[in-house]
Amino acid sequence: MPGLLEGKLGLILGIANKWSLAYAIAHAFSREGAELVLTYLGEHQKEAVETLAKGLKTVRITPCDVTKEDDLAALTKTLASLGRPLDAVVHSLAFANREDLNRPFVETGRAGFLLAQEVSAYSLVAVARAAAPAMTAGGSITTLTYVGSTRVVQNYNVMGVAKASLEAAVRYLANDLGPAKIRVNAISAGFVKTASSRAVKDSSAMLEVSVARSPLRRSTDPAEVGDAVKSWGITSQSRCSVPMHPPSRRVASSRNAAIFAISPSAIAISSSGLCPSRSRPHARIESFVCSRTHTTSGKPKRSR
């Protein structure tokens, strides 16, 4: 029986090791029949990505440093050389200096701030621009965010500000790329135990808090993130169910753009569904058009 993504082609950026969310997403895509283009950062990651790629339906592995325009131009050429449409892009990239995650935000240096913004937020814009020419039949671009973008999370610091910038970029990219039938979405997976998360000071304590506040009393499994991205990221339906992180936060969504918060507890249905949670049992996810609305007091309001 053909998989859900049989015949689809996906580009996945950000695989670092077998514990990374990008690998879990790649595994979910591959399991459902999608063929993949994978990227790696420098020779130090090449061998690890090549090893992981052996267990996936990989058609190409290519280097890509998103801070270098030459690498992004080469990525565009690589995608064009495949001679087929690109259906999905998964952006799972973020970086901040460890010292900027271990000291008060007010002490963040200019260079550290700009680095976090470039790798964690602007890279989505750069990757979208590089990949869009290959998405001739439309498709989706999905990135990963975190609740620290909208709430103060102890020790998340400069990365929280970068994630806020990333989410704003999602909305503007969705507006720009919508006419080409390219949807842009962000999924917030909650605090997941990965090699990258250990860079955050007191990450073990943060994980314990996340588990304590989850109705199922456990953290999100990377495989669940993979399935959520697979289901929402590559299909064209305007409705899609994914687990939602409690307490329920308003999720802005439309057929073209959405930001979902996920965790092992409840179900969020975009556009018109209900999202059960511990704190707001029947919080509705409101639909909106990015370029025409703004929000006040958590409720969508049509701009005049």
Q: d(Cα 40, Cα 80) in Å, to the nearest integer?
A: 18
Q: Does residue 122 carry a catalytic annotation?
A: no
Which residues share a beta bridge with 11? 37, 89
Q: Catalytic one among 23, 122, 146, 172?
A: 146
Let me know if 156 is a catalytic residue.
yes
Question: Omega of the bond prior to 222 within 30 degrees of 0, cis?
Answer: no
Beta strands in the chain (DSSP E): 9-13, 35-40, 58-63, 88-91, 139-145, 182-188, 241-244, 257-261, 266-269, 274-275, 283-284, 293-296, 299-302
Write down the catalytic residue from 23, 40, 156, 172.
156
- Measure Cα distances from 137 to 45, 84, 132 in Å: 32, 10, 10
Q: Residue 295 has which token pair?
A: 């929000």
Active site residues: 146, 156
